[in-house]
A and B are shown apart, each in its own frame.
Chain A
Amino acid sequence: MLKVLLARILFGLTITMSQFTQADITSYEFSEPEMAERFVGLTTVLRCPKCQNQNLADSDSIIAKDLRTQIQTLINSGQSDRQIAEFMVQRYGDFILYDPPFNKATMVLWLTPIGMLIIGLFALWFFGRKTHTQGAMLTPAEQQKLDQLLANNQVQDRD
Chain B
Amino acid sequence: MNMTTKRLLMVSPMALAFTLGVFLYQGIGQDPNKMESSLIGQSLPSFTAETLISPSRTVTQVDVLGEPALINVWATWCPTCRAEHEFLLTIAEQEKVRIFGVNYHDQRVAAQQWLTDLGNPYVFSVFDPKGDLGIDLGVVGAPETYLIDANGLVVDKVTGELNERTWKQLRAQYFSLLKGTN
Chain A residues in the interface with B (C-beta under 8 A)? 49-50, 52, 61-63, 66-67, 70, 89-93, 95, 130
Contact = CB atoms under 8 A, between A and B. Distances in A.
B105 A70 contact: no
B38 A91 contact: yes
Contacts of B131: 62-63, 66
Nearest to B142: A62
Which of B32, B134, B140 is most buried by chain A, counting CB atoms within 10 A of its CB? B140
The A contact surface, by secondary structure, is: helix
Binding site of B, secondary structure by majority: helix, strand, loop or mixed?
loop
B130 A93 contact: no
Task: Across the A-B interface, give the 4 residue pairs with the lowest CB-CB distance, nearest first.
Answer: A91-B138, A93-B38, A66-B131, A49-B140
A96 B26 CA distance: 23
B141 A62 contact: yes
B33 interface: yes
Given A63-B141, A66-B131, A91 B39 contact: yes
Given A63-B141, A66-B135, A92-B38, 16 more contacts: A49-B35, A49-B138, A49-B140, A50-B141, A52-B32, A52-B33, A61-B141, A62-B105, A62-B141, A63-B140, A70-B135, A91-B38, A91-B39, A91-B136, A93-B36, A130-B1
A66 B38 contact: no
B73 to A, nearest CB: 11
Most buried by B among A63, A70, A91, A95: A91
B65 interface: no
Contacts of B134: 63, 66
B103 to A, nearest CB: 14
Range for the number of chain B residues in contact with chain A: 10 to 19
Nearest to A93: B38
B35 A95 contact: yes
B162 to A, nearest CB: 19
Contacts of B178: none
B38 A89 contact: yes
7 contacts: A50-B141, A62-B105, A62-B131, A66-B135, A91-B138, A92-B140, A93-B36
A11 to B, nearest CB: 36
Contacts of A66: 130-131, 134-135
Contacts of A52: 32-33
Contacts of B139: 63
Nearest to B141: A50
Interface string B113-143: 0000000000000000011001111111100
Contacts of B36: 93
